[in-house]
Amino acid sequence: MNNIYMPSPYKILDIQQVTNIEWLFKVEFDRADEINYGQFIQISIPKVGEAPISVTEFNVEEGWIEFLIRKVGKVTDVLFDLKAGDTLFLRGPYGNGFPFDEKYKDKHLVIVAGGSGCGPVRSMINAVHKKFKSVKKMELILGFKDTNCIIFKDEITSWQEENNLVLTVDKMCEGDTCDLGINEGLVTQHVDKLDLSNIDDLEVVIVGPPMMMKFAAIEFEKHGVPEDKIWLSFERKMSCAVGKCGHCKIDETYVCLEGPVFNYTKGKKLLD
């Protein structure tokens, strides 16, 4: 019988510092063809521990996967001491991911992401942008704390060329510079900048801290977007990622099995 907890070793290809606290890890991965946008992987460092990390980008032909990781604790601390050429242990992909083919294809896709919430949606945005996947139109609101926290700047520049992209920071600080065209305020304050004229065609993806997702979803509802057209990605403490340990459970739902992506009709009821 297959051991669902058994991780496999993979070589780190590249590590890049993205902000003061976030690094991008590129790792060899032979199961990239199994990945769905928005899924996660259990990253493990033997003798230290495991942590769930979203797949931020992957390439099936070249056989690699990328993670955007914040240094916050046991596993992530050790990760930041590793170098290209070192080994990482992975198991997954896990979770459901975004239902692109079933729901978003050929629709008007709006993506609202806050801070490291850009991680889980990046592969989907790139897939649309690079025309691997077709939507009628894609619009983005990306929000960050301040200009130092902005990640994936090069990609944002290229996404901006073809899509309506609103880039915001919570508050501008003196001396803040950014050549990307920056707005001030929370992501919820910029929903008016989107084209919400044909709601029937719309699908809205919101990923970020719990408060941001809650208020952003409410804002879209106020603009007449029905709840079944809103999608959220949840984060919960996880230990096993396979429905055994119970840490991620909300009501009868296991975030590791049925999530992390939830339609808002369901997400709204996942109270904690």
Binding site for ligand FAD (CB under 6 A): 40, 49, 51-54, 67-70, 72-76, 116, 119, 235-236, 238, 260
Tokens describing residue 218: 């409410």
Based on C-alpha coordinates, what's the Rg of the chain?
Answer: 18
Task: State which amino acid sits at residue 20.
Answer: N
Q: Give, as ranges, the residues between 54 and 113 that touch ligand FES (CB under 6 A).
A: none
Using rule CB under 8 A, residue 175 touches other proteins: no
Tokens describing residue 174: 């003196």
60 and 32 Cβ atoms separated by less than 8 Å: yes
Least distance in Å: CB of 264 to other proteins?
Answer: 15
Using rule CB under 6 A, residue 239 touches ligand FES: yes
Round to the nearest angstrom and report the end-to-end CA distance of the chain.
Answer: 35
Using rule CB under 6 A, residue 248 touches ligand FES: yes
Nearest residue to ligand FAD by CB is 73
Query: CA 87, CA 8: separation in Å to the nearest integer?
Result: 10
Burial letters 83-113, b for 16+ CB under 10 A, else e: eeeeebebbbbbbbbbbbeeebeebbbbbbb
Using rule CB under 8 A, residue 11 touches other proteins: no
Q: Give, as ranges, the residues between 57 and 96 that touch other proteins (CB under 8 A).
A: 70, 72-73, 76
Using rule CB under 8 A, residue 172 touches other proteins: no
Using rule CB under 8 A, residue 251 touches other proteins: yes
Nearer to ligand FAD, 141 or 232 (CB): 232
Query: CA 202, CA 138: separation in Å to the nearest integer?
Result: 10
Using rule CB under 8 A, residue 180 touches other proteins: no
Least distance in Å: CB of 97 to other proteins?
Answer: 15
For 163-229, where are the E strands, in sequence order? 164-169, 183-184, 202-207
Query: CA 135, CA 214: separation in Å to the nearest integer?
Result: 25
Nearer to ligand FAD, 45 or 225 (CB): 45
Give the number of residues in contact with ligand FES, rule: CB under 6 A: 12
Site for ligand FES, rule CB under 6 A: 238-241, 243-248, 254, 256
